[in-house]
């Protein structure tokens, strides 16, 4: 009799334990499923979006370079006077090709510069021109944005740029050459970096500037949304494509 009672008591104790074990098993299954979903999402973000974006960029670049004046692979004549004016283009249309010699062999150093900064523009592995900033080569601030992570990683290696490095925009007939002056890390709300005089809203510009903006962090968990990396450059000279090209891209086979 005592043994029977003990068995019943043990069974009653095992009942809640079985429920608890089943609950733990269910939670474990959910965590595994969630982990797989996150892994698939990260794969899509980091891998597939890059393939798709780079394919779009290559298509745009090919179409644009077909319209460019041939540029012989000799060093061209540097012009220090006012550069040719660049006419505004419509949203999503091509302004030129961004060439960053420092990125040669490291990341894409020849990408389309499109008008606008919407996701549909930047997701094409392109640099996007802030519509409310000055035109390329004009007095003021020609400000552009690009992804640092996903969708082509356009500005991924912005951290490599140092004072004195060239940033070039090639239009159909002209090379516009800027030289890096500095960089800083700012809050996303610090929009004064794209003012006509960066950091000094309301001040009338007297120089031709270029500003690159992108996410700061490369950490997957943060997605780089906590701060912005800003690189500033000052206009140095321009060249006619028909006369040659900047010395910094003479040996770059990827630049038209």
Residue-wise pLDDT for 25-60, tens only, equals 555 454 443 343 333 333 434 445 557 777 888 899
pLDDT tens figures, 174-191:
999 999 999 999 999 999
User: Mean pLDDT score of the chain, rounded to an integer?
Assistant: 84
Beta strands in 27-149, from DSSP E residues, in sequence order: 94-99, 110-115, 127-129, 140-145
- Residue 69 is assigned to a structural domain of this protein: yes
- Residue 48 is assigned to a structural domain of this protein: no
Predicted confidence at residue 226, as pLDDT, reads 79
Q: How many residues does the chain have?
A: 256
Find all residues with CB under 8 Å of 1, minimum gap 6, and list them.
none
- Residue 29 is assigned to a structural domain of this protein: no
What does pTM read for this prediction? 0.79
Q: Residues of the chain whose pLDDT is less than 50?
A: 28, 30-47, 220-224
User: What's the CATH number where 228 sits?
Assistant: 2.40.260.10
Number of structural domains found in the chain: 1
**Residue 32 forms beta bridges with which residues?**
none
Q: For residues 238 and 176, what is the distance between their CA atoms, to the nearest angstrom? A: 5
Q: Which domain holds residue 102?
A: 58-249
- Residue 106 is assigned to a structural domain of this protein: yes
């Amino acid at each position: 009799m005592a043994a029977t009672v003990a068995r019943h008591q043990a069974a009653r104790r095992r009942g809640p334990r079985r429920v608890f074990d089943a609950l733990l098993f269910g939670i474990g299954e959910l965590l595994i499923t969630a982990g797989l979903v996150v892994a698939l999402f990260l794969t899509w973000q980091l891998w597939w979006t890059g393939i798709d974006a780079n394919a779009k960029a290559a298509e745009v670049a090919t179409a644009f370079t077909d319209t460019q004046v041939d540029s012989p692979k000799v060093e061209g004549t540097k012009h220090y006077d006012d550069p040719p004016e660049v006419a505004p283009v419509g949203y999503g249309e091509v302004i030129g090709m961004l060439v960053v010699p420092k990125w040669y062999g490291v990341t894409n150093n020849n990408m389309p510069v499109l008008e606008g900064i919407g996701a549909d523009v930047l997701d094409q592995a392109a640099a996007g021109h802030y519509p409310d900033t000055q035109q390329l080569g004009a007095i003021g601030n020609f400000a552009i944005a690009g992804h640092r992570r996903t969708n082509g990683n356009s500005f991924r290696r912005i951290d490599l740029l140092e004072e004195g490095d060239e940033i070039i925009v090639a239009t159909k007939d002209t090379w516009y050459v800027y030289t890096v002056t500095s960089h800083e890390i700012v809050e996303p709300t610090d929009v004064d970096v794209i003012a006509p005089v960066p950091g000094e809203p309301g001040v009338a510009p007297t120089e031709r500037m270029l500003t690159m903006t992108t996410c700061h962090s490369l950490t997957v968990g943060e997605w780089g949304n906590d701060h912005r990396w800003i690189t500033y450059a000052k206009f140095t000279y321009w060249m006619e494509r028909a006369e040659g090209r900047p010395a910094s891209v003479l040996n770059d086979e990827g630049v038209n």
